[in-house]
Structure 1
């Protein structure tokens, strides 16, 4: 069973892991364009984590539209989440053997985030928090598009067979 506090901690952790991953991957890249993209993704993840932390702070006030978070408890959420880890474990991009695997792992992080946040929207009333969460989901979907485009560009590059 998950409490509202635990759900928000999970959301923060997902975002913090994404930020760390992007920052580590950024340091491994020589391509300035790719470094810029990874930096931007890391900064977005940092902002998302901050938003979830602020929501956790409001939770203790027990007022207003954030009461939905209190209701995100019990067997329903447990059954929705099941055994899914939702990018809660850290992955070191330096341990991956190709840029393609680095981007594929990042893509899975983003898709996990979207899935988790989509589940949360079902518990929310319309209001400022719901709109803000929809904006975060839209940004995560943009991250997916960016990463998919990079992966597609990689697959179109000719393979160097001169070695």
Structure 2
């Protein structure tokens, strides 16, 4: 069975992978506006990873009993099956235009939101759910900003 800690480990990996990817991408672009945006989003991903790490530490210490400790492996596998959830490395050598890069980032953000939507169904603590909803909102803002860039505005 997956535990809450296992699920939080995935969330932490998603955020750390996002942070690393956005920082790495800056070396492959010349557009200063996009570089600034990627730096800002990387910092938000870093902050999200820190929040998930703190939540995991609270669970490990037994301080937070409201998050379900055991999640059914079958349920999680059925929902998560086939989803990469942006845990894979990006090969920037194969992304030859800023538009392709931005579309890749939109996919990352969309995967992350999908995972967090799954995660929030297992949370019964209002404070934790509200914080996770805030993170989802920030991920949606990242996606919207990337879409604006694609649209030229």
Contact 1:2 1:78 in 2 (8 A): no
State the alpha-carbon separation in 2 of the partners of residues 94 and 20 from structure 1: 16
Larger Rg: 1
Contact 1:86 1:112 in 2 (8 A): yes
Contact 2:58 2:64 in 1 (8 A): no
Structure 2 spans left out of the alignment, 5+ residues: none
Please list the CA deviations of residues 101-132 of structure 1 after superposition, one character each: whole Å capped at 9, or x if unmatched.
11111100000000000111111114221111
Q: Name the residue aligned to 1:55.
A: 55
Judged with a 3 Å threshold, the aligned counterparts in structure 2 of structure 1 residues 69 and 23 are, in CA distance, closer, same or farther, namely: farther
Q: Name the residue aligned to 1:160.
A: none
Aligned length: 153
Instruction: Please list, as runs of the form range in 1=range in 2, the aligned pairs for 1:55-94 lying within 5 A after superposition.
Output: 55-65=55-65, 67-94=66-93
SS of structure 1 residue aligned to 2:72 = coil
How many angstroms does 1:88 deviate by?
Answer: 1.1
TM-score (norm: length of structure 2)? 0.92
TM-score (norm: length of structure 1)? 0.87
